[in-house]
Amino acid sequence: MEAISLSEGRKRLFELRQTVVDNQEQVILTHKQGNVVLISMDEWETFRETLRLLNDKAALKALVESFEAHDDGLTTGKTIAEIFNDLP
């Protein structure tokens, strides 16, 4: 993860956007009044969905129970091919 000053980030914004989107990299923009992180919209949406699931107690409980059932050999799950069999 690259860390650069906010001033440098302004100068290189297009290049940084390209790097962040194409390589799913993050860039820390530093400033004496606080730092920020530049991430892609896809990564941002993933973070938001993860936080939503972690804050949904019923969904989190179901997820933990499914992992436990799989680990205990009670379920086998599907293969990647079975999950995505409708994709070309």
For 43-65, write each residue's pLDDT tens digit.
Answer: 999 999 989 888 889 888 888 88
Q: With 90 as the cut, is the pLDDT of residue 83 above it?
A: no
Q: What whole-number distance in Å separates Cα of residue 55 and Cα of residue 31?
A: 31
In one-letter notation, the amino acid at residue 45 is E
Reduce the DSSP state of residue 84 to 3 states and report it: coil
Q: Tell whether 86 is covered by a domain.
A: no
Measured from the Cβ of residue 72, the count of other Cβ atoms closer than 10 Å reads: 8
Q: What whole-number distance in Å separates Cα of residue 75 and Cα of residue 55?
A: 25
Q: With 90 as the cut, is the pLDDT of residue 1 above it?
A: no
DSSP 86: T
Are residues 53 and 33 part of one domain?
Answer: no
Q: What whole-number distance in Å separates Cα of residue 49 and Cα of residue 39?
A: 15
Global confidence as pTM? 0.63
Q: Give me the pLDDT at residue 88, please.
A: 64
Q: Give the residue numbers spanning the domain of 50.
A: 42-78
Are residues 46 and 74 part of one domain?
Answer: yes
- The most confident of 37-41, 55-59, 64-68, by mean pLDDT: 37-41
Number of structural domains the chain divides into = 2
